[in-house]
C-alpha cells in the first residue's frame, strides 16, 4: 500500500527519496511523487511507475533542496492520476504533505474549509490535511500541525514540509506506521524500514499519537498535546535479507526457492536439542486455556486453516480460524481463557491489527506470528514469535507463508507437550518431520521443470478448480489464491466433498481441476471426486505422494509427487508445486508477477 519517505540533511534530498521509493515499490502503488524544499516547495508527481517520476525529475530544472518528502500512492479515494498523487500542497504553496491511511471525517472537514473559500483540486481525502495545516498556519507550523491532527479521524502517518522551515521535516503517527532513521548529519522518515535500512541501523518507532520534528542532526518528539517526550533509540540487530533478485527473473521465484532457508532460520531458535522452545508461553498460562482463535487475512489466514488440523489433532483445544475483517466486527466469544493467535507477514495489516486490539479489549491474550520485527502487531501483542523469512518483496507471499506454517507446527507441538497431550514417542516423530521440512522442500523444488511443462500445457485455461479434503483443502485455498493473484485467471478452491452440492455444474469439457490427494484416510474419497469431474470432461492435475502414484495414474492427466510426511505437515510440501504452477502460468502470460495489478503487499487500510 502507500509508502512514505522523507529526508533532511546536507545532500540533495531527491536522490535518497527516489532510491527509497524504489525500495518501497514492492508494497504496491499506482502513482508516486516527491516534494523538495529549498526556499520554496517544488513538487513533481506522476501516475504510473517510479521510472516515470524519475524521468520527470531528471527533465526538471532546479529540482533540488536538502529536505524533502516522497510517496507511493495506492488509490483509495479517487483514481490513480497526477493530481491525486501525493504530495498535496496547501493553497499558499508553503505546506506539503504525504499521507498513508484514511481520513474518515474528510467530507465534513472539506465542507467547512470550502465555506472558507478554500479550493480543492484532487479527489483524495489526504488533500484536506495540507489544506487544513495551511489554513491554520500563521507563523507556528508546529501548532498548526497539532491542531490539524487533533481534528482528524481515522488512520494517518504523515510527512510534512513547510517552506518557512526548510531545515525541518515533521512526521506524525496515528494507526499507521512511521519510523525515523538516524544518520550521520542526515535523518530519514519512512513507513517501512526497508526504505533506509542500508543507510542506518539506528531508529525510533513513533508510537500512537506521536509527532517527530527532524533536523539534520537532531530529532525531537512530542505527543498530540504538544508536550515534549523522550523516546529510546533502537538498533536493528536482525538481518533484513537481500532485496535484490540475485539473478532470478522475479522475486517470486527467488522467494519460492528460498523457502528451505526461511524455515531453517525460523526453526533455528525454536528447535533445540530435540525439543521445542517457546518460552514466551509458560505452563500455567497454557493450562488456563480452553480455546484458541487464529485470526488473519489472505494467505496468513490460509496458514491458520492448515494449522488448525495440527492444533485439533495434537493440542486438543477447540480451535477456530477467523478472517480478521469479519472477526473484528462480530461479537466473538473470547475471554481470558482464549489465546488469540494473529498471523501476519507484514505485522501492519489493518484488519489483523484491529482484531488484535478487539481481542485484548475482550480480555483475551494475543500471540503474534510476524515477519517484521517491531511492526505494529508485534509491538501490541502480549507475546510474539517471529518468523525469520527475511524481506519478502513479491506481493504474492511464498516464503513467509511457509515460515508461518513451520511456526504453527512448532507451536502446536510445544503446547501439546507442555500440557502432556502427546506421548514422548509421537512428539519425537512429529519433531523429526518438522526439522526435515527444509530438506524435503528442497526435494520438491527439484520438480520445477516438470511443473513448468504442466503449466505450458494448461496455461490457456479460463477457469481452474482446486479440490481436496481435510488439510489438502486448506492448501487448495492457498493454491487458488496464489494462482489468481499472479495469473489473473479465475480459480476457486473447493472442499472436494462439497462439489456435488452445486459447483460441479460449472465443470464441463476442458475445465481444469487440480486435485490434492495426500491424506491416506481420505485418499479413496478424493479419487471418487476426481472420477466425478473427469466423467464431466474435466482435465485433472493430481498432487499426491510418491506412494500413491500408481493408484492415481488411471484418473489423472498429469501427476506431481511430493515425499511422504505426516498429514498435518503435508501443506508445507504440497503448496510448493502450487506456487510454482501459479508462477509459471503467470510467466507464460507475461503478467506483472512481483507487483500484480490492484494488489498491495501490506494492506494498511480496511
- Specify the long-range contacts of residues 238-241, CB closer than 8 Å, at least 24 apart: 238/373, 238/388, 239/390, 240/193, 240/194, 240/197, 240/390, 240/391, 241/389, 241/390, 241/391
CB of 404 to ligand M6R, least distance (A): 8
Indicate if 601 belongs to the active site: yes
Q: Which is nearer to ligand M6R, 1 or 441 (CB)?
A: 1
Taken in order 395, 399, 403, 408, is the CA torsion positive or negative? positive
Active-site annotation holder among 46, 265, 595, 601: 601
Number of other residues whose CB lies within 10 A of the CB of residue 331:
7
- Comparing CA positions, the residue from 155, 103, 593, 98 lying closest to residue 348 is 155
Question: What is the rounded distance in angstroms from the CA atom of residue 253 to the CA atom of residue 492?
Answer: 23
β-strands 41-47, 95-103 pairing: unpaired
CB of 300 to ligand M6R, least distance (A): 4
Do 345 and 400 touch, CB atoms closer than 8 A? yes
CB of 430 to ligand M6R, least distance (A): 25
CB of 585 to ligand M6R, least distance (A): 15
Indicate if 64 belongs to the active site: no
- Comparing CA positions, the residue from 518, 437, 444, 513 lying closest to residue 480 is 513
Q: Which is nearer to ligand M6R, 156 or 301 (CB)?
A: 301
Burial code of 455-465, b = ≥16 C-beta within 10 A, e = fewer? beebbebeebb
Q: Which is nearer to ligand M6R, 90 or 177 (CB)?
A: 177
- Comparing CA positions, the residue from 357, 340, 353, 349 lying closest to residue 304 is 340
The angle subtended at Cα 72 by Cα 71 and Cα 76, nearest 5°, is 110
Question: What is the rounded distance in angstroms from the CA atom of residue 252 to the CA atom of residue 396?
Answer: 7
Q: Which is nearer to ligand M6R, 431 or 466 (CB)?
A: 466
Q: Which is nearer to ligand M6R, 345 or 526 (CB)?
A: 345
Provide φ and ψ at 549, rounded to 5°.
Answer: -55, -50
- Classify residue 444 by burial, with Cβ atoms within 10 Å: 0-12, 13-18, 19+: buried
Number of other residues whose CB lies within 10 A of the CB of residue 139:
7
CB of 143 to ligand M6R, least distance (A): 37
Question: What is the rounded distance in angstroms from the CA atom of residue 47 to the CA atom of residue 479?
Answer: 32
CB of 311 to ligand M6R, least distance (A): 19
> Which residue of this chain has its Cβ atom nearest to ligand M6R in the complex?
298
Question: What is the rounded distance in angstroms from the CA atom of residue 427 to the CA atom of residue 441?
Answer: 21
CB of 595 to ligand M6R, least distance (A): 11
Q: Which is nearer to ligand M6R, 271 or 481 (CB)?
A: 481
Q: Which is nearer to ligand M6R, 75 or 496 (CB)?
A: 75
Do 42 and 65 touch, CB atoms closer than 8 A? yes
Residue numbers of the site for ligand M6R (CB under 6 A)?
297-300, 344-346, 349, 352, 395-397, 481, 485, 602-603
Helix (H, G, I), strand (E, B), or coil: what is residue 492?
Answer: strand
Number of other residues whose CB lies within 10 A of the CB of residue 583:
29
- Classify residue 246 by burial, with Cβ atoms within 10 Å: 0-12, 13-18, 19+: exposed
Helix (H, G, I), strand (E, B), or coil: what is residue 429?
Answer: helix
Number of H helices, E strands in the chain: 19, 27
Active-site annotation holder among 2, 162, 476, 561: 2
Q: Which is nearer to ligand M6R, 165 or 488 (CB)?
A: 488
Helix (H, G, I), strand (E, B), or coil: what is residue 162?
Answer: strand
- Specify the long-range contacts of residues 429-434, CB closer than 8 Å, at least 24 apart: 429/566, 430/314, 430/566, 430/568, 430/569, 431/271, 431/274, 431/275, 431/276, 433/565, 433/566, 433/569, 434/267, 434/271, 434/406, 434/409, 434/410, 434/569
- Classify residue 445 by burial, with Cβ atoms within 10 Å: 0-12, 13-18, 19+: middle
Q: Which is nearer to ligand M6R, 314 or 395 (CB)?
A: 395
Q: Which is nearer to ligand M6R, 373 or 506 (CB)?
A: 373
Q: Is the peptide bond before 374 cis (omega within 30 degrees of 0)?
A: no
Active site residues per annotation: 2, 601
Amino acid at each position: 500500500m502507500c509508502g512514505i519517505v522523507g529526508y533532511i540533511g546536507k545532500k540533495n534530498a531527491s536522490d535518497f527519496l527516489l532510491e527509497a521509493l524504489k525500495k518501497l515499490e514492492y508494497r504496491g502503488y499506482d502513482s508516486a511523487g516527491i516534494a523538495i524544499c529549498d526556499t520554496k516547495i517544488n513538487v513533481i508527481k506522476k501516475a504510473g511507475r517510479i521510472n516515470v517520476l524519475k524521468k520527470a525529475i531528471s527533465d526538471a530544472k532546479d529540482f533540488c533542496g536538502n529536505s524533502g518528502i516522497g510517496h507511493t500512492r495506492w488509490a483509495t479515494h479517487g483514481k490513480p492520476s497526477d493530481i491525486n498523487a501525493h504530495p498535496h500542497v496547501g493553497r499558499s504553496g508553503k505546506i506539503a504533505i504525504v499521507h498513508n491511511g484514511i481520513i474518515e471525517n474528510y467530507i465534513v472537514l472539506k465542507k467547512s474549509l470550502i465555506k472558507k473559500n478554500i479550493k480543492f483540486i484532487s479527489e483524495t481525502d489526504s488533500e484536506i490535511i495540507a489544506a487544513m495545516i495551511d489554513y491554520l498556519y500563521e507563523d507556528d507550523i508546529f501548532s498548526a500541525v497539532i491542531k490539524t491532527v487533533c481534528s482528524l479521524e481515522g488512520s494517518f502517518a504523515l510527512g510534512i514540509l513547510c517552506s518557512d522551515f526548510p531545515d525541518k521535516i515533521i512526521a506524525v503517527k496515528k494507526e499507521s506506521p512511521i519510523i525515523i532513521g538516524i544518520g550521520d548529519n542526515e535523518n530519514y522518515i519512512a513507513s517501512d524500514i526497508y526504505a533506509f535500512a542500508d543507510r542506518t541501523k539506528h531508529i525510533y518507532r513513533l508510537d500512537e499519537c506521536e509527532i517527530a520534528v527532524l533536523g539534520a542532526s537532531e530529532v525531537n518528539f512530542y505527543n498530540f498535546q504538544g508536550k515534549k517526550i523522550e523516546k529510546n533509540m533502537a538498533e536493528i540487530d536482525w538481518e533484513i535479507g537481500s532485496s535484490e533478485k540475485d539473478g532470478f527473473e522475479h522475486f517470486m521465484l527467488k522467494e519460492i526457492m528460498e523457502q528451505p532457508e526461511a524455515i531453517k532460520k525460523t526453526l533455528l531458535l525454536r528447535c533445540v536439542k530435540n525439543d521445542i522452545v517457546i518460552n514466551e508461553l509458560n505452563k500455567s498460562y497454557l493450562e488456563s486455556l480452553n480455546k484458541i482463535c487464529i485470526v488473519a487475512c489472505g494467505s496468513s489466514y490460509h496458514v491458520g486453516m492448515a494449522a488448525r488440523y495440527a492444533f485439533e489433532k495434537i493440542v486438543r483445544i477447540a480451535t477456530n480460524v477467523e478472517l480478521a475483517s469479519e472477526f473484528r466486527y462480530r461479537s466473538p466469544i473470547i475471554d481470558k481463557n482464549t489465546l488469540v493467535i494473529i498471523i501476519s507477514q507484514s505485522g501492519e495489516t489493518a484488519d489483523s491489527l484491529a482484531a488484535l486490539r478487539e481481542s485484548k479489549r475482550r480480555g483475551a491474550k494475543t500471540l503474534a506470528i510476524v515477519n517484521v520485527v517491531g511492526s505494529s502487531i508485534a509491538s501490541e501483542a502480549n507475546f510474539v514469535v517471529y518468523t525469520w523469512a527475511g524481506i519478502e518483496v513479491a506481493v504474492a507471499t511464498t516464503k513467509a507463508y511457509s515460515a508461518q506454517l513451520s511456526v504453527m507446527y512448532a507451536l502446536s507441538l510445544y503446547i501439546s507437550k507442555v500440557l502432556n497431550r502427546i506421548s514422548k514417542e509421537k512428539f519425537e516423530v512429529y519433531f523429526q518431520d518438522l526439522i526435515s521440512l527444509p530438506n524435503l522442500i528442497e526435494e520438491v523444488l527439484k520438480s520445477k521443470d516438470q511443473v513448468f511443462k504442466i503449466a505450458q500445457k494448461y496455461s490457456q485455461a479460463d477457469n481452474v478448480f482446486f479440490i481436496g479434503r481435510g488439510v489438502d483443502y486448506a492448501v487448495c485455498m492457498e493454491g487458488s489464491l496464489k494462482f489468481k493473484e499472479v495469473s489473473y485467471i479465475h480459480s476457486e478452491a473447493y472442499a472436494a466433498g462439497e462439489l456435488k452440492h452445486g459447483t460441479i455444474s460449472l465443470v464441463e469439457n476442458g475445465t481444469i481441476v487440480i486435485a490434492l490427494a495426500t491424506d491416506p484416510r481420505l485418499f479413496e474419497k478424493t479419487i471418487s471426486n476426481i472420477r466425478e469431474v473427469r466423467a464431466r470432461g474435466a482435465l485433472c492435475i493430481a498432487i499426491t505422494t510418491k506412494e500413491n502414484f500408481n493408484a492415481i495414474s488411471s484418473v489423472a492427466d498429469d501427476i506431481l509427487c511430493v515425499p511422504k510426511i505426516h498429514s498435518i505437515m503435508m501443506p508445507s510440501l504440497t503448496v510448493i508445486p502450487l506456487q510454482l504452477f501459479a508462477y509459471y502460468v503467470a510467466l507464460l502470460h507475461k503478467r506483472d508477477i512481483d507487483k500484480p495489478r490492484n494488489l498491495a503487499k501490506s494492506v494498511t487500510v480496511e
